[in-house]
Amino acid sequence: MSERREPSSPIHLAPKELVAWLAGQWRDSVSNPDSPYRLPILVTMAGSPAGRTVVVREAGESPLEVHFHTDLRSAKVAQLRESPACLLVWYDARSRIQVQARGQARLHSGDERARQAWEPLPVHNGRQYGQVEFPGTSLSHPLAEVLPEKEDGWRNFCLGIVGIADLELLQLDRDGNIRCRVEPSGGGWIKRWIAP
């Protein structure tokens, strides 16, 4: 069957341009609360599978990576320490595009890289990491105790950087869904169409 052309969908971009477009969406989402690329599900697979929403805090195109912030004491950190392989999943409901990005997470805490991410954080964000109880512990009341100063949170702050190894995109279309895989090749990227 011949390939249909839908120039309006980024899935038809050449691989390099597609990756650049995606990195641009991720970067734009950092300052755009309405972006569908702001809140991926981060899936880990140590022990049992687990997924949760995170906020994209920064993104890079070369190398292709997505940054998130989290609490060093959280289950996801323990899971990523055990098995850094992870998956980020977005769904752009306006364009009806699903993006899956597989990669390896690197974790930074207490180092220069983490400090660079920590410094610009607004006080209310930083204070969240000053929660006294470990994330996931039982409480006898709804609200956890949070220490007063932003700097109280620093010791629990963790910067996660997911280095993206490959991508899959799915464009929903009533005339036929379109799916592709984007993989590294010879210092660049190649795109393969796959059956949806």
Ligand X SMILES: Cc1cc2nc3c(=O)[nH]c(=O)nc-3n(C[C@H](O)[C@H](O)[C@H](O)COP(=O)(O)O)c2cc1C
Q: Give the interface with ligand X as residue ranges (CB under 6 A).
A: 39, 50, 52-55, 68-71, 74-76, 135-136
Report the residue number, 129 or 189, with the smaller CB distance to ligand X.
129
CB of 85 to ligand X, least distance (A): 16
Burial 129-156 (b: 16+ CB within 10 A, else e): bbbeeebeeeeeeeeeeeeeebebbbeb
Report the residue number, 70 or 171, with the smaller CB distance to ligand X.
70
Max Cα distance, the chain (Å): 63
Residue owning tokens 């607004």? 122
According to DSSP, residue 134 is labeled P
Report the residue number, 74 or 104, with the smaller CB distance to ligand X.
74
CB of 19 to ligand X, least distance (A): 23
Report the residue number, 78 or 147, with the smaller CB distance to ligand X.
78
CB of 149 to ligand X, least distance (A): 20
Residue owning tokens 């597989």? 102
Among 176, 162, 12, 34, smallest CA distance to 92 is for: 34
Among 159, 152, 145, smallest CA distance to 126 is for: 152
CB of 75 to ligand X, least distance (A): 4
Report the residue number, 13 or 39, with the smaller CB distance to ligand X.
39
Q: Is the bond preceding 63 in cis, omega lying within 30 degrees of 0?
A: yes
CB of 152 to ligand X, least distance (A): 17
